[in-house]
Amino acid sequence: MKKPLIQNALRLIASTIMVSYLAIFPAALFAGSNPAAPEAGVPQSAPGDSEYTPESREYHLKAAFLRYVARFVEWPESSLSESAINICVLGQVTSFEGLNSINNKTVGDRTLAVSKISKIDDAFNYCQILFVTKTEQENVKSILAAIQNKPILGFGDVDGFAEAGGAMNFYIVNNRLAIMTNLPAVEQAGLKINPRMLRLVTIIPPIDQSSFDKGPPPEEAAPKKK
C-alpha cells in the first residue's frame, strides 16, 4: 500500500475515534415508546404535547435538551456574564417560539437567555451556546472557523455538524432524538462536561466508566458565580 493511502486511512481512523455519540435517551418527539424508567432530569417530551404543532413541539423538545446540556457544561468564569447563560440562534427555524420556551428558565444560579443573532460576529464575547440552524448548512465550515478556540459551545441542528468539528449536534437514531458530541472540540473551546454526563456517552474507543458518578444529574451542575 502506498504511503498516501496509509496516511489517509490513519486520518479516517483518527477522525472516527475523536467523535463520540451522546444518545440522551429516547424522546417522544418521534414515534416509539419511552423507557419504563427514564433517566432523572432527561427531557422525554415537550410539555403539553397536544397543544403544539409538530414544528413547535420539535423545537420545544430541542429547547428542553439544550437546557439539559447547559446543566453539564462548565465555561471559563471569565466568559460568563453576571447571571445568564446566553443561547444564541443563528439562522432561521420554523418555531422560534419553541426554542424560546426555555428563556428565563434557570440552570443552577443562572438564567437562560435565548436570542437571535444575524451574523456570527455577534456571538463573540456574548454567547455561551451557539445554536446553528438547518438553514446555515452551507455556512458550517466558516461558522466553525469563526468560533474556533473561543469559549462557545457550537451546537448544530445540522447533520454532520459535530463530525465537521462542532461540539454537538442533534440527530435521529431509531426515530428518537439524540445528541452527537465531539469531545475534542468541546475541550478545544476551553469547556468541560460534568463527569455525570459522560456516563450517558458512548465513547470511541471505549473507556472505563466504572468511576463515573451513578447518581441523578445534579441541578447545581451549571457554572457557579463566584
Residue 23 covered by a domain: yes
Q: pLDDT tens-digit profile of 43-82?
A: 555 554 445 687 789 999 999 999 989 999 999 999 998 8
Residue 92 covered by a domain: yes
Residue 137 near residue 158 (C-beta atoms within 8 A): yes
Report the chain's mean pLDDT, rounded to a whole number.
Answer: 76
Helices (H), the chain: 3-18, 54-70, 96-99, 140-147, 183-188, 195-198
Residue 3 covered by a domain: no
Q: What is the pLDDT of residue 173?
A: 77
Question: Going residue by residue through the chain (226 aa), what tens digit of pLDDT does each one get?
Answer: 555 555 554 444 443 334 444 444 444 433 333 333 334 455 555 554 445 687 789 999 999 999 989 999 999 999 998 899 999 999 999 999 999 999 999 999 999 999 999 999 999 999 999 999 999 999 999 999 999 999 999 999 998 899 899 999 888 878 888 888 888 899 999 999 887 776 665 442 233 545 545 554 444 444 444 4
Residue 174 covered by a domain: yes
What are 195's three cell numbers?
A: 463527569
CATH number at 24 reads: 3.40.50
Residue 95 near residue 131 (C-beta atoms within 8 A): no
Residue 9 covered by a domain: no
Residue 32 near residue 174 (C-beta atoms within 8 A): yes
Residue 38 covered by a domain: no
Domain that holds residue 137: 17-31+45-219
Number of domains in the chain: 1
